[in-house]
Amino acid sequence: MPDLAKRFMQYVPGIFILALGTVLFSCCQLGVSSLVSVPFTTATITGLTLGNATSLVFGLLAIVEIILVKSFPLKIFLQLPFSFLFGAVVDFYNVTLGLGNFVVTTLVGKVLLLMAAVIATSVGSFLMVNSKLILNPPDGLVEIIALKKGKRFGQVKFYFDLTMITVAFLLGMIFLGQPSGIGVGTLVALLLVGRLIHFIELKTTHHVREETTDYAELVTDDVTEVKIP
């Protein structure tokens, strides 16, 4: 099987699994993940759907990547249409399939949904990164920061997640007078998602990803200057 076909066999399921994890966090009603924390708060403030708010925030993160690499490479440019695609998949689950109205009343059910959301978010994110195709903007930004700091993706993601949660908290306090979507599930996601991605990465990858090398070329003209973990 051609290498590109194998990559797409990881990438496409990764999109749908990650989007499902995004929606499951909102369904469990215990707090959303860092990935969707800012979009969720934005949607609450503006009245946008979660998918549209996700597209907006992801597009802004892609612009941050462009600022960091001080260029407009194709790999980052393609993250802009991806942002709209991912937002559409989120709304497919949330609106079309009606998961946004799915209510679980028991604590056990909510915890099970939370665990499913953590696993889906971790696996989906890993599959997309490991496919070496178009990264979603949050992961693309994490990848660039990881290269600049000489750290593994999963390690940097923990601190990035913490930053996203902080921004969501501040937006909620400023515009709503209280946090929106921040709860125990947010803390669980913060502690587990990055570590689970890091665990999967260590167990399944035994070589430097081509994606990492490609991003290293965006960070500096001399790839040897970048410490690739």
Return the number of other C-beta atoms located less than 10 Å from residue 96's C-beta.
12
Residues 6+ apart with CB under 8 A from 88: 51, 55
Ranges of each domain in the chain: 9-225
Nearest to 184 by CA among 101, 114, 122, 117: 114
- The reported pLDDT for the residue numbered 5 is 87
Is residue 223 pLDDT above 50, yes or no? Answer: no
Assess contact for 87 and 51: CB atoms under 8 A. Answer: yes
Distance CA 208, CA 91 (A): 35
- Between the alpha carbon of residue 205 and those of residues 31, 48, 178, 199, the distances in Å are 31, 39, 42, 10
The mean pLDDT value for 184-198 works out to 88
pLDDT digit string, tens, across residues 10-24: 999 999 999 999 999
State both tokens at 137.
């903007």
Is residue 224 pLDDT above 50, yes or no? Answer: no
Is residue 41 pLDDT above 90, yes or no? Answer: yes
- The reported pLDDT for the residue numbered 125 is 85
pTM of the entire predicted model:
0.85
The mean pLDDT value for 121-139 works out to 88
Tell me the helix, strand and coil percentages in the chain, rounded to 5.
80, 0, 20
